[in-house]
Amino acid sequence: MEVLNSIPIELELEAVIKRMRLRKRNDNILDNIREMLDIAVPIARPKAVYEVSYVENKNEDSLQISGVAFTSRVLRVNLDKVERVFPYVITCGRELEEIDIPSTDFIKGYYLDQIKETALALARQQVESYLKKRYALGQLSRMAPGAGAEIDWPITQQMELFSIFGGREKVEELIGVRLTDTFLMVPIKSISGIFFPTEVSFESCQLCPREQCIGRRAPYDPEVVKKYRPEEA
Ligand code: SF4
């Protein structure tokens, strides 16, 4: 297990604008983002913990990772030919979460939120690059418990995922991410899941028919869905 305590990111105006997919820039918006960046940049400390794990005991729709059992048909199919994976928790960090903006100041709260999301996305990219370099990997994909509209990997398995790192208390001690009793993470701008090597890039969004999702990372693809149905695999 390795902890990355201060992931270097370039948290700057252009990165936030890109993340927000802003079509029209105006001075008012840019000034608000700049004002929030002035507060956020000096204190931002995104963090991550990951483990090098091995996949064992593959069954029809379950498997073990680091000896911990997971149930997900999609994960099982994705890891069919994979032996080594990288469970992770990545966070924008408590430092950003603890910036105190009055709850009545919706505009500043909104832009700060966008900055935290940008910090998390940049940190995730950095962790991915770091893993590729360190372990001589090609393309990486990722999956998370509870992701996707037709959820086949229950969010309750966050508990199992965190157990790979020694449990909820240990993850909180290492990188400040608290897993709640409803399996959400605090800071909310945190992600957890499993990176795995793939020849063909995979996104849970390919299996998710939900319309008008601002987080969509790939188009819904019924042909890809077929690959995960037991009768068509
Ligand atoms: S389309 Fe949206 S809801 Fe569906 S898996 Fe992607 S991000 Fe999640």
pLDDT in tens, 179-191: 999 999 999 999 9
Worst-scoring range by mean pLDDT, 14-18, 27-31, 215-219? 215-219
Give the count of domains, the chain. 1
Mean pLDDT of the chain: 93
Give per-residue pLDDT as tens, 61-94: 999 999 999 999 999 999 999 999 999 999 999 9
Q: What CATH number does residue 59 fall under?
A: 3.40.109.40
Give per-residue pLDDT as tens, 110-127: 999 999 999 999 999 999
CA dist list (Å): 46 to 49, 73, 156: 11, 32, 25
Report the pLDDT value the prediction gives residue 150, as an integer from 0 to 100.
Answer: 64
Ligand 1 pocket, 233 CB below 6 A? no
Domain span at 9: 2-232
Report the pLDDT value the prediction gives residue 110, as an integer from 0 to 100.
Answer: 95
pTM given for the model: 0.93
Q: In this structure, what is the dihedral angle of CA atoms 183, 95, 46, 141, given to the nearest 10 degrees?
A: 30
Q: Are the C-beta atoms of 118 and 19 separated by less than 8 Å?
A: yes
Counting from 1 in the atom list of ligand 1, the atom nearest the Cα of 220 is 1
Give per-residue pLDDT as tens, 142-186: 999 998 666 789 999 999 999 999 999 999 999 999 999 999 999
Helices 106-134 and 27-40 cross at an angle (nearest 10°) of 60
- Tokens 């019924």 appear where? 222
Ligand 1 pocket, 221 CB below 6 A? no
Report the pLDDT value the prediction gives residue 233, as an integer from 0 to 100.
Answer: 46
Counting from 1 in the atom list of ligand 1, the atom nearest the Cα of 207 is 5
Centroid of ligand 1 to alpha carbon of 31 (angstroms)? 31
Nearest alpha carbon, ligand 1 atom 3: 148
Q: Which of 213, 214, 220, 228 gets mutated to test ligand 1 (max ligand atoms within 8 A of its CB)?
A: 213
